Chain A
Amino acid sequence: MPDESLQPDPDEDLVARARSGDTRAFDALILKYGEKLYGLVYNMTSHKEDTHDLLQEIFAKAYQSLPRFRGQSSFYTWIYQIAVNMTLNFLKKRKRRGGMSLNELDSSVQQDPALIDSSHMANPEKQSKLHELQKRLNEAMLSLSEAHRTVVTMFDIQGIPHAEIARILKTSEGTVRSRLHYAHLHLQSKLQDYWE
C-alpha cells in the first residue's frame, strides 16, 4: 500500500487558494470531484433528488471544514470520507423514516446509453431482459447492508482500489476484501433467477 503522505497532493494549490477565500478554486474542486461523488451518492441512495441535496450538503460541509483540513490525507480522500459519512448518516435517517419503496427508485439507469446499445434496441426481447436485470441489480444493491453497498459502489462501480477504499473508510484492506466477498455472494444469489 503506497504511503499517501509521501506523495504530494495534486490539489494542494487549489485547496490553499480555496482556504484563503478563492471561491473559484473551490469551484474547480467541485468540478473535478463532483461527478465521482455524484456516482458514489447516487449508487448508494438510488434517488436523484436525494443525491442532489446530499451533494450540495457534502460540498457545503467541505467548504466550511476547509480551514480545519490539515493535509494529512489528500483532498480526494478527505472529501470522499465526508461524502461516505454523510451518505451513511442520510441512509440511517431514511431507514428510520421507513425506508423507500421500490417504486420510488429511479429508473434512469434503464435509459443509460451504455446499457442499451443498438443491437439491444433492435431486439426488444433482449432489451426488456436487460432492463429487468438492471432493475434486479438495483434491488439487490439496495438489499445489501450500507457497509457492503459502500464497498461495492466504490470498488465495482467506481473502480477505486482496495487500499484507497480502506483509507477512505478508515479500515483495513482485509475488511474491505471481506466485505466485497460477502457482497458478491449476496448479489450472485439475488440475481441467479434472472441469469441465463
Chain B
Amino acid sequence: MKPTVEEIGTLLALKRHERPEEGYFDEFLREFHQRRRAEEASKKGVAGWWKQTSEWFSNLGASKWAYGGGLAYATIAAVWLLAPKDSDFQQAPAPTNVGHEVKAPAPVVEQLDALDLRPSTQGSTGEQEF
C-alpha cells in the first residue's frame, strides 16, 4: 500500500525535531571564533602582527614611554648578559698533552739503491753512450 502525500508529509515533519544536543552551539561559537582568529592571523602574518603591535603601542597613551624605556633597558640587559666576554676566553681550559706519541707517517721516498742506474749497454740506434 502506498502512503498518501499527507502521510509522507507527516512522517517528514517529524524530522523537524532532529536537533543537535544541548550546549552544541556554545561549543560551536567557541570553535567558530577560534577558526576565525587562526584564519585572520595566517592572512595577516608578520605584517599584521607588527601593525597590531604598533596599534596597541600607540593606544597606550603616556604609559607607552614607560613601556618603551622598560623594553630598551631589557634589550640592553639581554645583550650585556648574552654577549661573550674576555674572561670566557681566559677561563677556557689549556690544551693538554695526549698520552702517546703521534708519529707522522714516513714519506714515501724512492730508494736509490733499488734503482738501476747503470748505463744501458743495449742502447738503441742513435743513443749516446757515456
A residues bordering B, Cβ < 8 Å? 23, 27, 30-31, 34-35, 38-39, 42-43, 52, 55-56, 59-60, 63, 108-109, 112-115, 133, 137, 152, 156-159, 184, 187-189, 191-192, 195-196
Contact = CB atoms under 8 A, between A and B. Distances in A.
Interface in B17-38: 17-20, 25, 28-29, 31-33, 35-36
Query: What is the interface residue range for chain B against chain A?
Result: 20 to 34
B48 to A, nearest CB: 15
B2 A38 contact: no
Given A156-B12, A188-B8, A60 B19 contact: no
Contacts of B1: 192, 195-196
Nearest to B8: A187
Contact of B5 (A60, A114, A188, A189): A188
A65 to B, nearest CB: 13
13 contacts: A30-B29, A31-B29, A34-B28, A35-B19, A38-B20, A39-B15, A56-B35, A114-B17, A137-B12, A157-B13, A187-B8, A191-B3, A191-B8
B16 interface: yes
Q: Please classify the interface of chain A as helix (H, G, I), strand (E, B), loop, or mixed, using the class held by over half of its residues.
A: helix
Contacts, number: 83
A109 B28 contact: no
B8 A23 contact: no
A43 B15 CA distance: 8
Contacts of A113: 17
A150 B19 CA distance: 18
A38 B18 CA distance: 9
Given A188-B8, A191-B8, 20 more contacts: A23-B33, A35-B19, A39-B18, A39-B19, A43-B18, A52-B28, A56-B35, A112-B14, A112-B15, A112-B18, A115-B14, A115-B17, A156-B13, A157-B12, A157-B13, A157-B15, A158-B16, A159-B13, A191-B2, A191-B3
